[in-house]
Structure 1
């Protein structure tokens, strides 16, 4: 097994190892996995900032505005999930999850 990237957080390195145990990835796919996990780490870092500072921050004019880390968290989470999907690692929902998602969609689209 290829050594995991040391710059990733411990949870990201564990996920890297777990994916490589289950899947045989080509070198370019391992690079996509690393970039996806970097995005996950960035998302978690932004989430921690939001948890510490709150959803709103005060601007230099004294107005409340959304914490800038909210966009970082959202964009990084999207990049992580897109990377997993590109690698074919997105999961197939269980029948119960599929029913729940279908019910939620039907409820809000009516």
Structure 2
């Protein structure tokens, strides 16, 4: 898999992030690309949950017509955590790689 070849099962938004992150941070090794894919799959799952929660609202009624938290709230939270963990595992710095002059980040 090449960094320019975003997995086809990712959404357009996630594929855009794939190209941007792989390019800006020079992610081109198999392990890095696998972590990036895992993070973006979690990103897509998070977005799916956000859409459903926006449509249904954060509170829904159970079978007894009692209000309860939308069950996808926890899936959204877990997906966000998985995405951030994958990005952290990639050791992404806040500053993308630069070819030009300038001070390195954090100094």
Runs of 4+ in 1 over 2 A off after TM superposition: none
1:91 deviates by 2.6
- Tell me the residue number matched to 2:85: 82
Q: Which runs of 5+ in 1 are unaligned?
A: 93-110
Quick check: 1:84–1:90 contact (8 Å CA) kept in 2?
A: no
- Tell me the residue number matched to 1:91: 94
Describe the shift of the 1:84–1:76 C-alpha distance in structure 2 as closer, same or farther (beyond 3 A): same
- Tell me the residue number matched to 1:73: 76
TM-score relative to the length of structure 1: 0.78
The answer to whether 1:57 aligns with 2:41 is no
1:90 deviates by 5.1
The answer to whether 1:7 aligns with 2:9 is yes
- Tell me the residue number matched to 2:18: 16
Alignment partners' CA distance in 2, 1:15 and 1:86: 16
Query: Cα RMSD over matched residues?
Result: 1.4
Give the length in aligned residue pairs.
92
1:24 deviates by 3.3
